[in-house]
Amino acid sequence: MTMTKPAGRARWGDRLVGYPADRAEAYRRAGEWTDRPLAHRLQDSVDRYADRPAVTTDAGTITYRELGRRTDQIAAGLLDLGLSPGEPIIFQATNRLETVLTWYGCIKAGLVPVATLAAHRGHEIGHISRAVGAVGHVVEAGLSFDLVDFAREQAQGHPTLRTMLTIGAPAGEGTPVETLGADIAPDDARARVAAVQAEIDPLDVVAFQLSGGTTGVPKVIPRRHVEYWDNARLYARRLGWTEDTRVAHLIPIIHNAGISCGLHAAHSVGACLILATADVTQAFPLMARARATDVLIGHGHYQAVASPAFDEVRPVLRTVILSGAKVSSELFERVDDGEKRWAGQLFGMSEGLFTVSPHESPASARMTTVGTPIADTDEIRILEPGTETEVADGEVGELTCRGPYTIPGYYDAPEHNRMAFTSDGFYRTGDLASIVVIDGVRYVSIDGRIKDLINRGGEKINAEEVEQLLVTHPNVANAAVVAMPDPRLGERTCAYLVTVDGAVLSMSEMREHLQARGVAKFKWPERLEFVRAFPQTNVGKIDKKRLRADIVARLAETPDQ
């Protein structure tokens, strides 16, 4: 006998951690939580800004009215495919209008988007889709890797995956979102969305994001209706956005920063999202043509901003937010002219917390710190690592936080949650930070990190996950993966290997090995170093600090291995 799974919070049961009642109450009182489903909040903007531009891409512009109508139809089309509210849908699509339409279409149908990336492969998708019980898979065709074929493979023998949705695929390949629901009368589609939304519990999950992770497998981050749209609205409020703002986004829109600081933030205030790609030869001209006023620049694009190519778009921009790595004075001055163009910084994570430079803060604070938290009810504490003892202002410790849009726990990870949160519910970010007081304001400065990951142009690579994969090669006895500095991406991955009987593993053998295991390419080490044994700390752990220093020295000698 098959059982129909419940749609609401009951579906997830004790795999979700709830917010304590007193904090929930405080967030509602502060107006930073809203007990309405996300699709209702989107509809408010559709009604209010109907004829304003909602999304601009290289392919053209759609208005809020068109966005509302088309996403209603997609939602009704998804329901007609037999998908039911509460069911998770894996996303593997790049920055295209159809990605946005499918995201909202799913949410309107009560489905739960899972923010995986087009770059993910079987190792990641196989694990995550099973962890959440995904039933649908959105894939973009026409990329260098055949995601349509991949989706077909993934569905084989999968316990829950049954529906493939395609973007840009030839006829006959799954269900194309371009035409999905297009023949459903707009009023009918609206009524069906309204019926689904009437049943939604605002405390339920609206989307799953993925954590960069601190242990072997990526953790799943449940974001909820009650907080997710407000999170974005608070970001837009911090930057003073209005319906006249035109926000460009170049990094993957599906990342939490894309959804929260790009898509939802723009639409929470009636602004236009200019959806570009990471390729600046396409992105900068589009931004210039569409007269982008605001942009978020990740550290993978710091070099492009310093280059002459940025001159094309610089004159139209008013606000540039830099994020991901320390900002040099040259970079800051390139985007902040002290008059018309304002630069600030952002620190954020899919688990929640965003800190952003406040508008009125002096240039010194905007250049050297990542600002202050965006919600009034956000709380941050800097703790001595591994303890619950707060350090004094100015001292470096682990950044911990709790607040209206920071998760109280990962999905289905009780053991990990015990380590990842303090006894009073502060999330341990794994980042090193200090409080810098300037003119009486307490700003956050990011000073490094404790967690063992590589930040490759914004994509986080979990060292332990890669090490575990490398040691499955028969020639590898032990592996230690560290970040090596890279001028363009900030960091790239170097693997130190101890091989069995001193055997050698070529770069191509290592790649073949990871490819065979279906590991996303951005996680593949880009340099190999062979050692007899790893340096140890005095507590008998691999001394990664020494390995990082070693690779810096080796890079100076042999930049290209």
Give me the least distance between CB of 251 and ligand AMP, in Å please.
10
Give me the least distance between CB of 16 and ligand AMP, in Å please.
19
* Residue with smaller CB distance to ligand AMP, 41 or 460: 460
Please report the DSSP string for 463-484 in residue order: HHHHHHHHTTSTTEEEEEEEEE
Choices 50-58, 87-95, 341-349, 539-547 (CB under 6 A): range interacting with ligand AMP: 341-349
Query: Residues with Cβ < 8 Å from 371, sequence gap 6 or more?
Result: 344, 345, 346, 347, 355, 356, 357, 358, 361, 365, 443, 444
- Least Cα distance to 449 among 212, 210, 124, 209 occurs for 212
State whether residue 363 is helix, strand or coil: helix
Give me the least distance between CB of 49 and ligand AMP, in Å please.
28
Give me the least distance between CB of 193 and ligand AMP, in Å please.
30
Give me the least distance between CB of 177 and ligand AMP, in Å please.
26
Give me the least distance between CB of 528 and ligand AMP, in Å please.
25
Give me the least distance between CB of 399 and ligand AMP, in Å please.
8
Choices 187-195, 286-294, 344-352, 489-497 (CB under 6 A): range interacting with ligand AMP: 344-352
Give me the least distance between CB of 549 and ligand AMP, in Å please.
20
Residue 350 within binding range of ligand AMP, rule CB under 6 A: yes
Residue 267 within binding range of ligand AMP, rule CB under 6 A: no
List C-alpha distances in Å: 18 to 22, 244, 354, 406.
Answer: 12, 37, 21, 12
Residues numbered 309 to 328 that lie near ligand AMP (CB under 6 A) are 323-325
CA 167 to CA 93: how far, in whole Å? 8
CA 488 to CA 18: how far, in whole Å? 40
CA 253 to CA 267: how far, in whole Å? 14
* Residue with smaller CB distance to ligand AMP, 49 or 522: 522
Residue 274 within binding range of ligand AMP, rule CB under 6 A: no
Query: Residues with Cβ < 8 Å from 368, sequence gap 6 or more?
Result: 436, 445
* Residue with smaller CB distance to ligand AMP, 416 or 449: 449
- Least Cα distance to 479 among 501, 497, 460 occurs for 497
* Residue with smaller CB distance to ligand AMP, 163 or 400: 400
Residues binding ligand AMP: what is the number (CB under 6 A)? Answer: 19
Instruction: Name the pairing type of β-strands 342-349 and 294-298.
Output: unpaired
Beta-strand runs (E) in 116-245 = 136-140, 163-167, 175-176, 205-210, 220-224
CA 502 to CA 297: how far, in whole Å? 44
> Which residue in 294, 378, 431, 550 binds ligand AMP (CB under 6 A)?
431
Bridge partners (DSSP) listed for residue 274: 56, 248
Q: Cα 303 vs. chain centroid, distance in angstroms?
A: 21
Residue 165 within binding range of ligand AMP, rule CB under 6 A: no
The overall longest dimension of the chain from CA atoms, in Å, is 71
Residue where the block lists tokens 């460009």: 248
Where b means 16+ CB within 10 Å and e means fewer, 285-300 reads ebbbebebbbbbbbbb
Q: What is the dihedral of CA 251, 256, 258, 260, to 10 degrees?
A: -160
CA 96 to CA 52: how far, in whole Å? 19
Question: What are the structure tokens assigned to 440, written together?
Answer: 């009486």
Residue 256 within binding range of ligand AMP, rule CB under 6 A: yes
Query: Residues with Cβ < 8 Å from 558, sequence gap 6 or more?
Result: none
CA 305 to CA 313: how far, in whole Å? 10
Give me the least distance between CB of 258 and ligand AMP, in Å please.
10
* Residue with smaller CB distance to ligand AMP, 32 or 398: 398
Give me the least distance between CB of 79 and ligand AMP, in Å please.
31
Residue 369 within binding range of ligand AMP, rule CB under 6 A: no
Residues numbered 439 to 478 that lie near ligand AMP (CB under 6 A) are 446, 449, 455, 460
CA 348 to CA 414: how far, in whole Å? 24
Give me the least distance between CB of 352 and ligand AMP, in Å please.
9
> Which residue in 161, 290, 349, 480 binds ligand AMP (CB under 6 A)?
349
Give me the least distance between CB of 75 and ligand AMP, in Å please.
28
Where b means 16+ CB within 10 Å and e means fewer, 483-522 reads bbebeebbbbbbbbbbbeeeeebeeeebeebbeeebbbeb
Residues numbered 185 to 214 that lie near ligand AMP (CB under 6 A) are 212
Query: Residues with Cβ < 8 Å from 557, sequence gap 6 or more?
Result: none
Give me the least distance between CB of 341 and ligand AMP, in Å please.
20
Task: Draw the binding track, 211-240, toward ligand AMP (x: CB under 6 A; -: no contact).
Answer: -x----------------------------
Give me the least distance between CB of 323 and ligand AMP, in Å please.
5
* Residue with smaller CB distance to ligand AMP, 361 or 429: 429
Choices 115-123, 343-351, 416-424, 542-550 (CB under 6 A): range interacting with ligand AMP: 343-351
Choices 334-342, 345-353, 436-444, 508-516 (CB under 6 A): range interacting with ligand AMP: 345-353
Angle at 295 (CA atoms; ends 294, 301), nearest 5 degrees: 155
> Which residue in 49, 347, 405, 410 binds ligand AMP (CB under 6 A)?
347
Choices 4-12, 60-68, 123-131, 340-348 (CB under 6 A): range interacting with ligand AMP: 340-348
Residue 57 within binding range of ligand AMP, rule CB under 6 A: no
* Residue with smaller CB distance to ligand AMP, 34 or 455: 455
> Which residue in 370, 401, 469, 497 binds ligand AMP (CB under 6 A)?
370
* Interface residue list for ligand AMP (CB under 6 A): 212, 256-257, 323-325, 345-350, 370, 429, 431, 446, 449, 455, 460
